[in-house]
Amino acid sequence: MEILIITGPPYSGKGTQCDVLKKELDYKHLSTGERIREEKKQNTPRAEQMRQYEEQGNLVPDSLMLELIEDLIEENRQELGIILDGYPRTIPQVDALLDMLSEKGLYVSKVINIEVPSEELLKRAQNRAAVSTRKDDEDPETHFKRIRVFEAETRPAIEYFKSKIDVITIDGIGEIGTITARILATL
């Protein structure tokens, strides 16, 4: 099973690209955010712990995220490939993921990093908030906080990844199809 990771700042289009790529590659798209929202609807104990962090715009603790990712991977072991969306987000999560995958005889083949300038991210956040029914999209300060958390926590993790795995940076400005073509050209 091939494992791809799609990363980038909040509102960079990671989820959109994952949805397109899953059809193009016939891979399973595993979104940590979607799984967290699904578990919150079911009021699982793990979801209650995660809810408190997410609603404040903070990252979910590494131990909970690794548990969630391990469950997702085990549930999808039969797939040709999977695309991880939004994980890992910190340097400790990178190490934990790589260790867990190694124990299972799996590995990450590539990391696709979608880059979008901050001013464009904020425009996209405002657009999403205007059409979203997600409670966590209502407060504009949450958008700023998510971007700040990304810069402080996830950007260093992406740089760290570069010492371990092939990380390909893609320009995230343009039409969805254009960005998809850029990604597919690297695969």
Q: Give the span between the Cα atoms of 166 and 30, in whole angstroms.
A: 20
Number of domains in the chain: 1
> Per DSSP, what are the bridge partners of residue 83?
4, 29
Specify the residue for token string 């193009």.
24
pLDDT at 129: 67
Show the tokens assigned to 41: 């609807």
Residue 143 sits in a domain of what CATH number?
A: 3.40.50.300
* Full residue range of the structural domain in which residue 116 is found: 2-186
110 close to 187: Cβ distance less than 8 angstroms: yes
Show the tokens assigned to 48: 């209650």
DSSP symbol at 58: P
> pLDDT of 143-184, one tens digit each?
788 888 888 989 999 999 999 998 999 999 999 999 999 999
> pLDDT of 73-128, one tens digit each?
999 999 999 999 878 988 999 999 999 999 999 999 999 999 998 888 778 877 77
pTM above the 0.85 mark? no
112 backbone φψ class: left, alpha, beta (φ>0; ψ -120 to 50)? beta
